[in-house]
Structure 1
Amino acid sequence: MTSTDHTPDELDGLDVKRNLYWYKVAEPDDFADSEVRVCPVGLKTVAVTKLHGRYGAIDNRCPHQGGPLGQGTVENDKIRCPWHGFDFDPFTGHAAGGPGFDVPTYPVEARDDGIYVAALPPLPHTRTISDVLVETMTEWGVDTVFGMVGHSNLGVAEALHRAETAGELKYFGVRHEGAAAFAAAAYGKLTGRPAACFGIAGPGSTNLLTGLYDAKSDRVPVLALSGNVNSSVAGKGAFQDIDLLAAFADVAVYSQMVRAGSEHGELMTLALKHAIIQRGVGHLVIPDDVQVLEAPDQPASGPQGRMPDLRTGPPTAPLQQALQQIAAAKRPVVIVGAGARHDMEAAVALAEALHAPVLTTFKAKGQISDAHPLACGVLGRSGTPVASWMMNKADLLLVFGASFSDHTGISPYKPTIQVDTDPLALGRFKPVTVPLLGDVGMSCAALCAELRVHPELIDQRTEVAERWTVWRGEKARRAAARTDRGVPAAAVIEALNDVVPADAVVAVDVGDHAYSFGRYFETKQQSVLMSGYLGSIGFGFPAAMGAWAAAPDRPIVTVTGDGGFGQYLAEITTAVKYGMSITHILLNNGELAKISDEQRAAEYAVWQTSLHNPDFAAFARNCGAHGVRVEDPADLSAAVAEALAYPGPALVEIVTDPQSR
């Protein structure tokens, strides 16, 4: 009944002294004679063979380069390694190459109910370098990781697995590393805290780069972890061997290789400290062999005693200059960018004291409710005529945490007070009247504390309300327009205004639909996420996954075009796998309509912007999500409301007119 080449004494010793555990690996008649296969035995894999009616079990790893012996063939009563042709006895583990290559054997029994193989219970875990790195991550508050597990990051993956099992973090396995980086960037945009993204050597890590450039461009903290080839072959042109430090040199504010003799917790601490303080990407490369080295006594590292209070008040002289400018202005306006996201209470208090309209950049959409009597919506290419009207009539611009790039639409010809924590951001594009270095919240408070206003200061609230009345009338006209090419984009956004919950997070992709969203959607308390300065198409759905991971109790909505969703559409299976309640509003106009517009504007022929799309709603259903297709504006609100109520990922595909704006 038992087939093994252990001696009786050895078997007795194993069973009694080491408490072998028996695992069923096959049904009684599963094996054909001369068949070998890989069988899981606890955490091990074993090559099990049936030969001449006997069963043998040997270790699955060839000692040459780890080839899977269970995937080999049985020739001349020996198992032949599928990688390099080494031969092994299926019962004794003896290698044809000599005793130095022998592999361990395992007791095997053919019982009435199946084939059983015995193995020792796993040894107690010895803490590794990967454990030190992951423990340090969690000490710094990193509790969310997006990534793909692969052959050169398995040691780190196992440490992440242990931490997840202990309830210290959440891991989300994605279908493409680019989605992992976008999700981590969105997490940082929403919370101000870093999440991690994780890939293998070579392409797994280079796939992270686009999402990491989004984090760099929009100045949000992200931790990137790269597995790498073994130290012994690095730099020799081995499989997937590229210089990851060089590849990440431009995108990361900190990028280092973890080596056997490193202070491993300190490297992780430096990566996270750089990411948080410099609002960028901290990156570590961890060779495969280094990941599993034992480090029982190495300390993890945390933020205690490492992080200063980053808030800084404005210097006295420029503060007084700013106060003088304000005192001389009759029609000041406040413009807020994403850099003011966490200081809006102070910025709005200053605006209210000045009766000054509040305009936002597109990246800052939603930072003030459009129901506020001073709110004017978005300024610039994606903006409202309310905002542009009020800026054009202003005699002073107070700009908080915003860039002056061409997309923001901020006038370079107006007297301007610019407040930012980054000295390089001050006057970056053109000189400003008063560049004020300081934390937005503290700077607004300092201005309020000494505020002097012009005796003829104009209360602009009435004019703001008048401009909204005009604009809302125009929006209603556009939403009511009908064509035979699909639903007008204005009608889609009008429906979203009616049904998207006030506390939702809305992730907006890049494309023609984004301009419509910026113009027509009126925010309440929603948080809006987008790929701002990188402007990367494909951001929307992965960003929604990051938002859900950060705030699973809030409604999560993503608004994308067909072009953007096409880049990461497989991630809907990730959302289904983890039960992510994401409501996806997909505007399908059958083309890259924004690019078509740009070609027309440049007086080129419209070329190669048409798209061959699937039935996206049916695709969503095939993936296990809710999916519905809308072609009639009358069905919009009900379809979106149904999707919002669905307990999981839901897609509303709306056929839209590429010419409607």
Structure 2
Amino acid sequence: MTRTVAEVVIDALQKAGAKRCWGIVGDTINHFTDAIRKSDVRWVHVRHEEAGALAAGGEAYMTGELALCAGTCGPGSLHFVNGIFESHRNGAPVVLIASDVARTEVGLNFPQELDQRKIYEQTSVFCEYISHPEQARRIATQAAQAALSKRGVAVIIVNGDMFTQKTEDRLAWHVHRPAPVLRPSDAEMTALAEALNKAGTVTIYAGIGAREAAPQVVKLAAALKAPVVHTSRAKEFIEPENPFNIGMTGILGNRAGVEAIDAADIMLCLGTDFAWTQFYPEGKHVIQIDSDAAHLGRRAPVGLGLVGDVGDTIEALLPRLQPLEDSTHLDKALKQWAEDQRAYEKSAEGKDPALIHPQTVAHMLDRLAAEDALFTADGGSPMVWLLRHLTANGNRRFLTSLLHGTMANAYPQAMGLAAAYPRRQVIAMCGDGGMSMLMGDLLTLVQEKLPVKLLIFNNSSLGFVEMEQRVEGLLDSYTDLQNPDFARLAEVCGLRGWKVENANDLEGAMQSWLAAEGPALLDVKVNRVELVMPPKVTAGQVASTALFGVKAVLDGRAGEVVSLLRDNFLR
């Protein structure tokens, strides 16, 4: 039986596990979307393709299964670009169908013609044209397998007229999903055990590569009496049920994490490729274990670099270790972690009901949200409040833009989560800048019946940028936002909406918002002059912030300086 290329492609991707395809219909993908109509794959109609790519990435990241998006030639496919970069860097198995003009017009500068390969090959694990109808299932299967096995975006480029071509589709190409055991050689395992057995103190630094090895990380920490620091992306996996957890390092981290790494004889990096080299110990022995050899020694010089799956490697390592008895290093780190947590709780306290601190909002959300809620957060300060104030309990899941650092990621990604998990509470922690960047897809929440709960940290500014400018000793410039009444806007779009400007009204509004059926929006007016304090404040940062204060006073903004001191240092 002959079938069209469009029918074969969607059949192959559905058999690979795809359940949804996000996009906007039109010209060069009309035959593809018609094939979807006749399949069991759900087409999710968005208002902007970037939101579709972010939603597909959110779905794929959280489920670990394939998600699809599809775009028309020229502008349609190009609008996906930023969302595809975000999804690829997050390790989300997404397949993008990027269509192009008819083959008869290629190379003739036809309207909307462009070279899709040049655009997408830099942000994909697979990027190929279907050049002949007989390739349809084979290319689609290869794309799906690459996306799933390499954890990234795969791109299939199809000319619009190719979708209509017929193929016999004789060969049964299908996706393989192997589960190999990956660990270093015996000689390398011996060298690793010897190094750890000789070390006086060890601090474990666990990243996203350890996401499926949390129990093994805890066993290793117990044997080495080692505190466990985690990257921000690994919070949801490493923090729960881990008595050795002491938080994070980096600019968003806490003092316990930074000091435990700095004080250790060995920093044992497990599945992490944390990019900021200034947070690695100078002159200390770093041991790195990663499944990708290209990551070894990329961020800091390492004494020993080993290729292996974190869980497989730890299981092979444990019998070779001599359990450590001295817990001084661990006890000190745990004591500091307790102090760090108390500091976070204190920062969430507020005395003036008219001044709502964003930490207060996040802290309350942590208390009121469901135990198995799914959270997303916009790049910028909402991401910080999620990482510092939401509890990872083993059932909750978190998704933020930590590698690509984009704005407006939170609620589009939450759309993908809500589609994949319709019975779970899905909460998007949005900045007012991020929300207003892609507001059009509020309509998608209503039209597609996606019950996302939107929380807006409304400080009428690009707050994280404003903070960056001030810490660099600059006057903050061009960061003001003139926002609409988001709650009323939500109501016009068909969502329930709440607006809070006084702390006394916050808990009641948040409870009603979380209990509402369908999508709902809570707009909270939060303090604008709020610093995101790093784990350690350097002399240079103090000097730069002081310089901002001098400039602000000279510019007639003394009141802002007083607010900065009062709200961040005198509370």
Distance in 1 (alpha carbons) for counterparts of 2:172 and 2:23: 23
Number of equivalences: 530
Residue matched to 2:163: 291
The answer to whether structure 1 residue 496 and structure 2 residue 368 are counterparts is no
Q: Deviations over 1:593-635 (max 9, x none)?
A: 1111222222222111111111111111111112111122233
The answer to whether structure 1 residue 382 and structure 2 residue 258 are counterparts is no
Distance in 2 (alpha carbons) for counterparts of 1:301 and 1:565: 42
The answer to whether structure 1 residue 259 and structure 2 residue 131 are counterparts is yes
Residue matched to 2:349: 480
Distance in 1 (alpha carbons) for counterparts of 2:446 and 2:278: 37
**Which protein is richer in helix relative to its size?**
2
Code of the residue aligned with 2:321 in structure 1: it is: L
In the TM superposition, 1:113-152 aligns within 5 A as: 127-152=3-28
Contact 1:315 1:437 (C-alpha < 8 Å) held by counterparts:
no
Residue matched to 1:182: 54
Contact 1:135 1:300 (C-alpha < 8 Å) held by counterparts:
no
Code of the residue aligned with 1:226 in structure 2: it is: A
Give secondary structure in 1 for the equivalent of 2:279: coil
Distance in 1 (alpha carbons) for counterparts of 2:249 and 2:66: 29
Q: 1:345 Cα deviation (Å)?
A: 2.3
Distance in 2 (alpha carbons) for counterparts of 1:362 and 1:255: 30
Code of the residue aligned with 1:135 in structure 2: it is: D
The answer to whether structure 1 residue 248 and structure 2 residue 120 are counterparts is yes
Segment of structure 1 superposing worse, 361-370 or 494-503:
361-370
Q: 1:560 Cα deviation (Å)?
A: 1.5
Segment of structure 1 superposing worse, 488-497 or 474-483:
474-483
Q: 1:128 Cα deviation (Å)?
A: 1.1
Contact 2:427 2:453 (C-alpha < 8 Å) held by counterparts:
yes
In the TM superposition, 1:80-479 aligns within 5 A as: 127-164=3-40, 169-299=41-171, 301-303=173-175, 306-369=176-239, 372-406=242-276, 409-454=279-324, 456-458=325-327, 462-479=331-348
In the TM superposition, 1:542-557 aligns within 5 A as: 542-557=412-427
Is there any run of 5+ residues in structure 1 with no aligned partner, and where?
A: 1-124
TM-score of the aligned structures, taking structure 2 as reference length: 0.88
Q: Deviations over 1:160-192 (max 9, x none)?
A: 11113xxxx222111111111111222232122
Q: Percent identity?
A: 27
Which has the higher relative contact order, 1 or 2, with Cα contacts under 8 A spaced 6 or more apart?
Answer: 2
Give secondary structure in 2 for the equivalent of 1:224: strand
Contact 1:235 1:243 (C-alpha < 8 Å) held by counterparts:
no
Q: 1:652 Cα deviation (Å)?
A: 1.2
Distance in 1 (alpha carbons) for counterparts of 2:245 and 2:506: 27
Residue matched to 1:511: 380
Give secondary structure in 2 for the equivalent of 1:477: helix
Code of the residue aligned with 2:383 in structure 1: it is: A
Contact 1:370 1:376 (C-alpha < 8 Å) held by counterparts:
no
Q: 1:460 Cα deviation (Å)?
A: 5.7
Give secondary structure in 1 for the equivalent of 2:468: helix
Residue matched to 1:40: none
Q: 1:443 Cα deviation (Å)?
A: 1.0
Distance in 2 (alpha carbons) for counterparts of 1:345 and 1:153: 46
Contact 1:418 1:426 (C-alpha < 8 Å) held by counterparts:
yes
Judging changes above 3 Å, is the alpha-carbon distance between structure 1 residues 408 and 534 closer, same or farther for their aligned structure 2 residues? farther
Code of the residue aligned with 2:51 in structure 1: it is: A
Code of the residue aligned with 1:218 in structure 2: it is: N
Q: 1:498 Cα deviation (Å)?
A: 0.9
Say what the alpha-carbon RMSD is for the aligned residues.
2.2
Code of the residue aligned with 1:128 in structure 2: it is: T
Q: 1:328 Cα deviation (Å)?
A: 2.1
Residue matched to 2:562: none
Q: Deviations over 1:528-558 (max 9, x none)?
A: 1112211111111111111222322322111
Distance in 1 (alpha carbons) for counterparts of 2:233 and 2:404: 11
2:461 to 582, 587, 591: 591
Judging changes above 3 Å, is the alpha-carbon distance between structure 1 residues 371 and 273 closer, same or farther for their aligned structure 2 residues? closer
Larger radius of gyration: 1
Q: 1:283 Cα deviation (Å)?
A: 0.7
Judging changes above 3 Å, is the alpha-carbon distance between structure 1 residues 606 and 485 closer, same or farther for their aligned structure 2 residues? farther
Distance in 1 (alpha carbons) for counterparts of 2:473 and 2:278: 25
Is there any run of 5+ residues in structure 2 with no aligned partner, and where?
A: 532-571
Q: Deviations over 1:368-397 (max 9, x none)?
A: 345642222222111222322333333322
Distance in 2 (alpha carbons) for counterparts of 1:474 and 1:467: 10
Distance in 2 (alpha carbons) for counterparts of 1:262 and 1:350: 51
Q: 1:574 Cα deviation (Å)?
A: 0.9
In the TM superposition, 1:2-21 aligns within 5 A as: none
Code of the residue aligned with 1:489 in structure 2: it is: P
Distance in 1 (alpha carbons) for counterparts of 2:148 and 2:55: 17
2:442 to 564, 567, 572: 572
Segment of structure 1 superposing worse, 321-330 or 501-510:
321-330
Q: Deviations over 1:257-300 (max 9, x none)?
A: 12344421001111122222222221111111111122355455
1:624 to 485, 490, 494: 494
Judging changes above 3 Å, is the alpha-carbon distance between structure 1 residues 302 and 524 closer, same or farther for their aligned structure 2 residues? same
Give secondary structure in 2 for the equivalent of 1:613: coil
Distance in 2 (alpha carbons) for counterparts of 1:565 and 1:321: 51
Q: Deviations over 1:118-151 (max 9, x none)?
A: xxxxxxx973111111111011112221111111
